């Protein structure tokens, strides 16, 4: 029987520990840690994701500052708002919800976030530091996946990990995190030739494609670990888990796998950022 990598339960445990750290932080500093979430435009999925992050803050006793900007917002306006949040001593972490409307230079907006408050690991500096194995907050989804793999003591060193997808927030940082843990990593993308053949070699396969049930069960090796970052209408991910799960040695369910790990990791990294600013020892 495959092991179910239960992100939902682990996220709940993580939140309980964060709640204790929030209380300690309040006692030491007299204030409450705060995550600023910036939503630009009116994309309903983005609004839902931001709401879920705000709810998670509330569950652990943290504050969330919801910054909502219109769909016609100009890049300069957004950069100005981010600068204010960088300078605001009551804000510990900044999350800019991706994607932003087309007229905005998203990279410039991400880069405007100060490294100390980049709790979602979106800046080039944060990515570079993480890639070099230096202290930085990793992109929340891949960092959450690593925490989940570790929680279930899934061996990584020496394994062949195949990451399908190379986006800046998911595929690329995922590949670097696995590489830093001594996996042999192959990164696949839309121009990859013979994807099934490559996936067939994977001891660990990460689905980060953004297409429902795109990765077929027959592409997955018997006994591989399947990590599915996707979430689509109908409650399916990027891997055809319905048919693939039973041939894996472990898999992340959809829903209840990677999704809750992303949110709890974001909140955890906000907690760490707050503690760092206040000079409280980092418990990781």
The residues carrying an active-site annotation are 53, 97, 120
238 part of the interface to ligand NAP, by CB under 6 A: yes
| Contact by Cβ (8 Å): 35, 63 | yes
**Token pair listed for 198:** 């490559």
How close are the terminal C-alpha atoms of the chain, in Å? 32
Instruction: State which residue, 204 or 275, has the beta carbon closest to ligand NAP.
Output: 204
Which region among 66-74, 124-132, 162-170, 266-274 touches ligand NAP (by CB under 6 A)? 162-170
33: Cβ contacts below 8 Å, ≥ 6 apart: 22, 25, 62, 63, 92, 270, 271, 274
Overall residue count recorded for the chain in this entry? 284
Sign of the four-CA dihedral 210, 211, 213, 219: negative
Residue in 248, 252, 262, 265 binding ligand NAP, rule: CB under 6 A: 262
Instruction: State which residue, 62 or 229, has the beta carbon closest to ligand NAP.
Output: 229
171 part of the interface to ligand NAP, by CB under 6 A: yes
Which region among 13-21, 75-83, 154-162, 169-177 touches ligand NAP (by CB under 6 A)? 169-177
Instruction: State which residue, 86 or 216, has the beta carbon closest to ligand NAP.
Output: 216
54 part of the interface to ligand NAP, by CB under 6 A: no
Residue in 131, 167, 216, 249 binding ligand NAP, rule: CB under 6 A: 167
CB of 95 to ligand NAP, least distance (A): 12
8 part of the interface to ligand NAP, by CB under 6 A: no
Look at the block and give the residue holding tokens 């279930």.
Answer: 152
Residue in 35, 78, 143, 209 binding ligand NAP, rule: CB under 6 A: 209
* Nearest residue to 227 (alpha-carbon basis) of 151, 138, 153, 161: 161
Site for ligand NAP in 111-150 (CB under 6 A): 141
Query: Per the omega criterion (within 30 degrees of 0), is the bond before 89 cis?
Result: no
Burial of 183 (0-12, 13-18, 19+ CB in 10 A): buried
Task: Show the binding pattern over residues 20-49: x = contacts ligand NAP (CB under 6 A), - = does not.
Answer: ------------------------------
Residue in 190, 201, 243, 246 binding ligand NAP, rule: CB under 6 A: 190
CB of 215 to ligand NAP, least distance (A): 9
| Contact by Cβ (8 Å): 11, 263 | yes
**Token pair listed for 16:** 């309980």
Query: Per the omega criterion (within 30 degrees of 0), is the bond before 257 cis?
Result: no
Say whether 174 sits in a helix, a strand or coil.
Answer: helix
User: Phi/psi at 38 (nearest 5 deg)?
Assistant: -115, 120
CB of 153 to ligand NAP, least distance (A): 22
Residue in 165, 173, 204, 219 binding ligand NAP, rule: CB under 6 A: 165
Residue in 143, 169, 205, 266 binding ligand NAP, rule: CB under 6 A: 169
* Nearest residue to 144 (alpha-carbon basis) of 209, 228, 220: 228
Residues that bind ligand NAP (CB under 6 A): 141, 164-167, 169-171, 188-192, 195, 208-210, 229-231, 238, 258-259, 262
């Amino acid at each position: 029987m495959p092991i179910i990598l239960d992100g939902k339960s682990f996220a709940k445990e993580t939140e309980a520990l964060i709640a204790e750290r929030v209380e300690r932080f309040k006692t030491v500093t007299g204030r409450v840690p705060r995550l600023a979430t910036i939503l630009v435009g009116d994309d309903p999925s983005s609004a839902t994701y931001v709401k879920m992050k705000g709810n998670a803050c509330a569950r652990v006793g943290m504050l969330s500052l919801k910054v909502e900007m219109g769909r016609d917002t100009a890049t300069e306006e957004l950069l100005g708002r981010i600068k204010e949040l960088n300078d605001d001593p009551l804000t510990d972490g900044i999350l800019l919800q991706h994607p932003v409307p087309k007229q905005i230079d998203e990279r410039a907006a991400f880069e405007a976030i100060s490294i100390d408050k980049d709790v979602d690991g979106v800046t080039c500096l944060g990515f570079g530091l993480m890639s070099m194995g230096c202290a930085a907050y990793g992109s929340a989804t891949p960092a959450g996946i690593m925490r989940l793999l570790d929680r279930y003591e899934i061996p990584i060193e020496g394994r062949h990990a195949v990451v399908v997808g190379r986006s800046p927030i998911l595929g690329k940082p995922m590949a670097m995190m696995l590489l830093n843990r001594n996996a042999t990593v192959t990164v696949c993308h839309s121009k990859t030739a013979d994807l099934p053949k490559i996936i067939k070699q994977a001891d660990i396969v990460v689905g980060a494609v953004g297409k429902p049930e795109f990765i077929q069960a027959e592409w997955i090796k018997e006994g591989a670990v399947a990590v599915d970052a996707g979430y689509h209408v109908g409650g399916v991910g990027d891997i055809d888990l319905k048919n693939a799960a039973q041939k894996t040695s472990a898999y992340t369910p959809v829903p209840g796998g990677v999704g809750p790990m992303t949110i709890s990791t974001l909140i955890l990294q906000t907690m760490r950022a707050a503690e760092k600013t206040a000079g409280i020892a980092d418990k990781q």
